Amino acid sequence: MLLYYTKMTSAERVMTKATLEELLTRKDKSKKELTGLGAGSEGGHQRQALHDDPATEDRKNFLRAQIAMIGNLEDVSIITPSEDLSKADLGCIVELEYEDGFKIKGVLLGPDDAQIARSGEEEKTVEVISFMSPLGQAIRGQSVGAKVTLTKPSKQEVKILSISRANI
């Protein structure tokens, strides 16, 4: 499974506790697999990689890239949903209606949370809206009934129908 992570400095990264635990598990698992791969089972050394077959070397490179993309998780801020539901904020579920009548229900989270949610096997009934996306930026801090205008991919108006607390 190929995963893409938004590269951010650790000071800027916010995510749910569940996402942090999932990323720590993936990083640890990748490090352990890397250590066990290849000549001499030392996996991380470039000199020994010269003796590995191409498939093993490709796997090592994938694991190194995955570890690098997960990055430093020591200074991550954990999202705790606000008790104040008067405005859309991190950890809130927002129900939105586009001007064409299309409705969506989504939880406002960080980009790491969005990636973890998309890689889950169970079907989700609530979408994840990254607070860094144009939609997330437009609705964050807005109240029920507020209308925001998105300009990409085309200009359209979105109305906030409801705000509730997510169970994260």
Vertex 155: Cα angle to 154 and 156 (nearest 5):
110
User: How much is the pLDDT for 45?
Assistant: 54
Contact 33, 63 (CB under 8 A): yes
To the nearest whole percent, how much of the chain has pLDDT over 70? 78
d(CA 101, CA 16): 31
> In 76-161, which ranges are continuous DSSP H helix?
111-119, 134-139
- Start-to-end Cα distance in the chain: 24
In three-state secondary structure terms, 95 is strand
d(CA 75, CA 31): 20
Out of 3-12, 46-55, 63-72, 74-83, which region has the weakest mean confidence (pLDDT)? 3-12
User: How much is the pLDDT for 43?
Assistant: 46
Task: Convert the pLDDT of each residue in 105-125 to its tens digit.
Answer: 999 998 888 766 655 544 456
Cα-trace Rg, the chain: 20
Who wins on pLDDT, 21 or 44?
21
User: How much is the pLDDT for 118?
Assistant: 56
The position carrying tokens 């991190």 is 90
Which structure tokens are listed for 89? Answer: 């904020």
